[in-house]
Amino acid sequence: MSNSNRIDQCFTDLKAEGKSAFVAYVCAGDPNMDQSLKIMKALESAGADIIELGVPFSDPMADGIVNQMASHRALEAGGTFPGVLDLVKKFRETSEVPVVLFTYLNPVYTYGFERFHKDSASAGVDGVLLLDLPPEEAARNNDIQETSELKHIRLIAPTTPEERIPRLASSAEGFIYYVSREGVTGAQTSLAEGISENVENIRKHTDVPVVVGFGISTPEQSATVAQSADGVVVGSAIVRVVEKYADDPDVAARVEAFVKPLVDGAKSV
């Protein structure tokens, strides 16, 4: 299966089954690259349909403290972008689960924008979510124009101006990540209001699947979101498990045990 088609094929298969996707986020290199590979395999075993892999970065502005510390641990353990690519290559030896890189522009620009896309695709990456690069800016700057090697995931938030939603939705590839609440990433005790209505509003402008993240941390929340969205994203809650068991040789098994009920929740509707 070609790299550019894994995400699309995933959603096509799930739609045929009447199921929502479960998207799991972890930071590459947290607590180290060897354990990261085991954790990615554990996420697959737990039933994750797509893995969002955070690229370690020193200034992750959109992330809450849990994900900030994950990035810090990864950097302290020697995490680099070439190391992330090597991690994906090793994962691809046994898996066809789609992988999306979750990153900021700075490390991409430093590595080389075009080179980043080509090397990522060659390693087996399927998509990229550049948190701080609006598509309008990419179109205006020849140095950061998007290429066809990767699917370009778009973010839409409750604060996105109504008139901007059609532009973002029409340029989205793979899926749209609907950020369900304002602020930074982090698990919450309750879901944001208006998720179903906002997802339906986005769907008026695109056929690309819409997944919902930010604040989902329990099987019940996962099931509730899956009722109205094409996918559920869980990140900080998983990263917190990695943090808690970072020094445990069985950290991957701990992650799998935590994630499976969340996956089951998303698949129960």
Choose among 20, 32, 116, 127: nearest CA to 40. Answer: 32
Choose among 142, 144, 140, 162: nearest CA to 152. Answer: 144
* Long-range Cβ contact pairs of 66-72 (< 8 A, separation 24 or more): 66/185, 66/186, 66/187, 66/236, 66/239, 66/240, 66/243, 67/25, 67/27, 67/185, 67/186, 67/235, 67/236, 67/239, 69/243, 70/26, 70/27, 70/30, 70/239, 70/242, 70/243, 71/27, 71/30
- Scored b (16 or more CB within 10 A) or e, 151-175 reads bbbbbbbeebeeeebebbbebbbbb
Q: Half-sphere exposure (CA, 13 Å, Cβ side) for 167? A: 10
**Residues with active-site annotation:** 52, 63
**Would you say how long the chain is, in residues?**
269
